[in-house]
C-alpha cells in the first residue's frame, strides 16, 4: 500500500486506486497529478487489500483496474459488486483495457458509476471525476480542482466536461487530415465553432474557410453560390463570379445544414467530391479545386435518406470523419462555466459590473433542459446583462430576462395549455431521454434504473451503443 497527495495543499478528497501493477499505478498517479489537485491517492495492489482499506477508511473515489480484482473471484462483476457494498457511496470507476468490453459492461451492471479504458488520460479523467461528483451530489465535499491548461477553453469551445474533452480530442486527431468531416448535433451546440476549430488547427489554417448555409440560400441560387457563375449565364449575370468552392481553394469549404440541399444539387456535389473538379453555371470549362469539405446538420441523415431527401452515396462520401456535439442537457457541469463566461464577456461589452450568480439561480440554470443549447443560454445571459444594473444575478433578474422560451424559470404548469407549443422529438431521442433521466434519478445506477423501467440492464447498454452510432447521424 502506498499513499500520495496530488497538489501542495491539504487534501480534500480521498481516492483509492486498485492496481496490481506497481509501475502502472505510479504512472496513473503521475498522470492524475498533472490534472488534479488536493486529492490523496491510496494504492491497493489487489481486491482483497482494497476491501480491507474500504472497511477501515472512508474514500470518496475508487478507481478499480478490473484485471487487479482476480483475487476476489473469477467474475469481475461480482468483485465490483463487493467493492460497491463496501465503498459506502464512493464514486466507483472501473478501468479496463480496450478488449474488455464485456467486463466493463458487467462492472456498470454491478454498480460502477462509470468505466474508462486504458491508458488513462489525466485531463479527461479529471473532468469526468468532477462531472460525476456534481451529478451525484459530491461536488462540494470533494472540492476537486483541475490543474493544467486547456480543460475549459479549447479553440472557441467553453466546457470541461468529459463529453467536451472527447470532442476536443477528436478535433485534435481529425484536424491534420484532409478527409471530409461530418458534424452532427442539435441547433445551438456549436457546429460552426467546431468547423472553425478544425480549420484553424489543421494545415490549411493559412488559407480561407468559406462557409455556406444550405438552408439560407434559395434553391435556384444555391448552385451558383456553391460553384460560381459565368458571365451571361442568366439575366443579371454581368460578370464571371467564383463560387464558395473556388473561393475556398487550398482551404476549407464548410457546408452548414447539408441536409437542406436540393437533391439535384446533391448529385453535382457528389461528382465534385469524387473528381475535385467543378464547372461554373453557364460554363463548359472544368476547373480543378483543392478543398477540404466539412459539413454539418442538426437533422438525422438516416431519416432523410429513408425519406429520399438525401442521397445515400453522398452521405457515405461525406461521412468519413464524424464528430457529434452533445446537447447542453447532457453536460450539466458545463452550464455554469458557460454562464460565467458569457456574463464576464457581456458585462465588459456593456461596461457593467456583475458579481456572479445567486445560488438559487445557478441551481435552476444547471437543472434546465436548454432545448436551444449553448445559444439559448448565451442569449439569456446577454439579456440579463443588458436589462440589469449590475451586482449578483438574482431570481427576479432571471425572471425578467427569460422572455425567449419561459422554459428556464417557469414551471410547465404556469403556462396555459392553450398557449403551449409541443415539440415532437424523434422516437429514439424520446426513448434516450426517458432512460437517461431514469439513470440520473438513481444516481447513475443502471441496474436500479432498468428495474424501475421494467427492462433488463443489457437493454440499456445495447441502446446506449445504438445511440452512440445514431449520434453520428443526429
Torsion sign across C-alpha atoms 269, 274, 280, 281: negative
Residue 99 pLDDT exceeds 60: no
- For residue 85, what is its C-alpha cell? 457494498
Range scoring the smallest mean pLDDT among 300-304, 386-390, 420-424: 420-424
Mean pLDDT of the chain: 82
**pLDDT tens for each residue of 100-151:** 556 767 787 788 888 777 788 777 777 677 666 766 656 545 655 555 444 4
Return the pLDDT at 415: 41
Cis peptide bond prior to 119, omega within 30° of 0:
yes
Return the pLDDT at 332: 84
Q: Is the pTM of this model over 0.85?
A: no
Residue 153 pLDDT exceeds 80: no
Residue 13 pLDDT exceeds 90: no
Residue 406 pLDDT exceeds 70: no
How far is the C-alpha of 287 from the C-alpha of 291, rounded, in Å? 13
**334 vs 12, which has greater pLDDT?**
334
**pLDDT tens for each residue of 61-72:** 899 998 899 888
Residue 215 pLDDT exceeds 70: yes
8 A C-beta contact, residue 328 and residue 189: yes
Range scoring the smallest mean pLDDT among 17-21, 111-115, 336-340, 357-361: 111-115
Q: What residues have CB less than 8 Å from 259, skipping those under 6 apart? A: 214, 297, 298, 299, 301, 304, 309, 310
Range scoring the smallest mean pLDDT among 222-236, 368-382, 397-411: 397-411
Could you tell me the pLDDT band of residue 408, with boundaries at 50, 70 and 90? low
Residue 346 pLDDT exceeds 90: yes
Q: Which of 153, 63, 108, 140 is nearest to 341 (CA)?
A: 153
What's the distance, Cα to Cα, between the start and end of the chain in Å? 47
Structural element, H or E, at residue 154:
strand 153-154
Cα–Cα distances in Å, from 354 out to 179, 340, 379, 396, 474? Answer: 45, 10, 17, 15, 38
Range scoring the smallest mean pLDDT among 329-343, 383-397, 458-472: 458-472
Percent of the chain at pLDDT > 70 equals 79
Return the pLDDT at 266: 94
**194 vs 11, which has greater pLDDT?**
194
**6 vs 262, which has greater pLDDT?**
262
**247 vs 368, which has greater pLDDT?**
247
**Upper half-sphere CA count for residue 268 (Cβ side, 13 Å):** 17
Return the pLDDT at 469: 60
Backbone angles phi, psi at 231, to 5 degrees: -60, 130
Cα–Cα distances in Å, from 17 out to 63, 140, 280, 346, 451? Answer: 5, 21, 63, 43, 30
Return the pLDDT at 302: 83
How far is the C-alpha of 153 from the C-alpha of 149, rounded, in Å? 8
Amino acid at each position: 500500500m502506498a499513499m500520495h497527495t496530488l497538489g501542495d495543499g491539504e487534501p480534500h478528497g480521498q481516492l483509492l486506486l486498485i492496481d496490481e501493477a506497481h509501475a502502472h499505478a505510479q504512472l496513473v498517479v503521475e498522470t492524475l497529478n498533472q490534472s488534479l489537485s488536493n486529492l490523496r491517492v491510496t494504492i491497493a495492489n489487489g481486491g482483497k487489500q482494497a476491501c480491507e482499506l474500504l472497511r477501515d477508511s472512508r474514500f470518496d473515489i475508487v478507481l478499480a483496474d478490473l484485471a487487479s480484482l482476480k483475487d476476489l473471484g473469477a467474475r469481475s462483476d461480482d468483485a465490483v459488486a463487493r467493492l460497491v457494498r463496501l465503498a459506502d457511496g464512493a464514486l466507483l470507476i472501473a478501468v479496463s483495457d480496450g478488449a474488455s468490453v464485456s467486463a466493463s459492461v458487467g462492472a456498470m451492471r454491478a454498480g460502477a458509476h462509470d468505466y474508462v479504458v486504458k491508458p488513462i488520460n489525466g485531463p479527461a479523467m479529471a473532468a469526468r471525476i468532477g462531472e460525476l461528483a456534481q451529478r451525484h451530489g459530491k461536488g462540494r465535499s470533494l472540492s476537486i480542482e483541475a490543474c493544467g491548461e486547456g480543460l475549459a477553453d479549447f479553440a472557441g469551445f467553453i466546457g470541461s466536461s468529459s463529453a467536451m474533452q472527447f470532442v476536443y480530442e477528436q478535433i485534435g486527431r481529425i484536424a491534420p487530415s484532409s478527409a471530409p468531416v461530418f458534424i452532427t448535433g442539435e441547433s445551438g451546440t456549436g457546429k460552426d465553432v467546431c468547423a472553425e476549430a478544425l480549420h484553424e488547427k489543421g494545415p490549411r489554417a493559412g488559407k480561407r474557410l468559406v462557409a455556406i448555409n444550405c438552408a439560407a440560400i434559395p434553391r435556384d441560387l444555391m448552385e451558383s453560390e456553391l460553384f460560381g457563375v459565368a458571365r451571361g449565364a442568366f439575366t443579371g449575370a454581368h460578370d464571371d463570379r467564383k463560387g464558395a468552392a473556388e473561393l475556398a481553394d487550398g482551404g476549407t469549404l464548410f457546408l452548414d445544414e447539408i441536409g437542406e440541399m436540393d437533391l439535384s444539387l446533391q448529385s453535382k456535389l457528389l461528382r465534385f467530391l469524387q473528381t475535385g473538379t467543378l464547372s461554373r453555371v453557364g460554363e463548359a470549362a472544368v476547373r480543378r479545386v483543392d478543398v477540404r469539405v466539412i459539413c454539418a446538420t442538426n437533422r438525422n441523415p438516416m431519416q432523410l435518406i429513408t425519406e429520399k431527401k438525401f442521397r445515400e452515396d453522398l452521405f457515405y462520401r461525406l461521412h468519413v470523419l464524424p464528430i457529434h456535439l452533445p446537447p447542453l442537457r447532457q453536460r450539466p457541469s458545463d452550464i455554469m462555466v458557460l454562464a460565467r463566461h458569457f456574463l464576464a464577456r457581456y458585462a465588459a461589452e456593456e461596461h457593467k459590473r456583475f458579481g456572479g450568480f445567486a445560488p438559487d439561480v445557478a441551481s435552476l440554470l444547471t437543472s434546465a433542459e436548454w432545448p436551444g443549447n449553448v445559444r439559448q443560454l448565451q442569449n439569456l445571459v446577454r439579456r440579463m446583462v443588458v436589462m440589469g444594473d449590475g451586482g449578483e444575478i438574482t431570481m427576479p433578474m432571471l425572471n425578467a430576462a427569460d422572455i425567449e422560451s419561459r422554459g428556464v424559470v417557469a414551471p410547465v404548469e404556469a403556462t396555459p395549455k392553450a398557449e403551449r407549443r409541443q415539440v415532437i422529438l424523434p422516437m429514439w431521442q424520446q426513448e434516450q431521454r426517458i432512460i437517461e433521466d431514469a439513470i440520473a434519478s438513481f444516481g447513475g445506477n443502471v441496474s436500479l434504473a432498468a428495474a424501475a423501467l421494467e427492462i433488463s440492464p443489457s437493454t440499456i447498454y445495447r441502446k446506449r451503443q445504438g445511440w452512440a452510432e445514431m449520434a453520428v447521424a443526429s
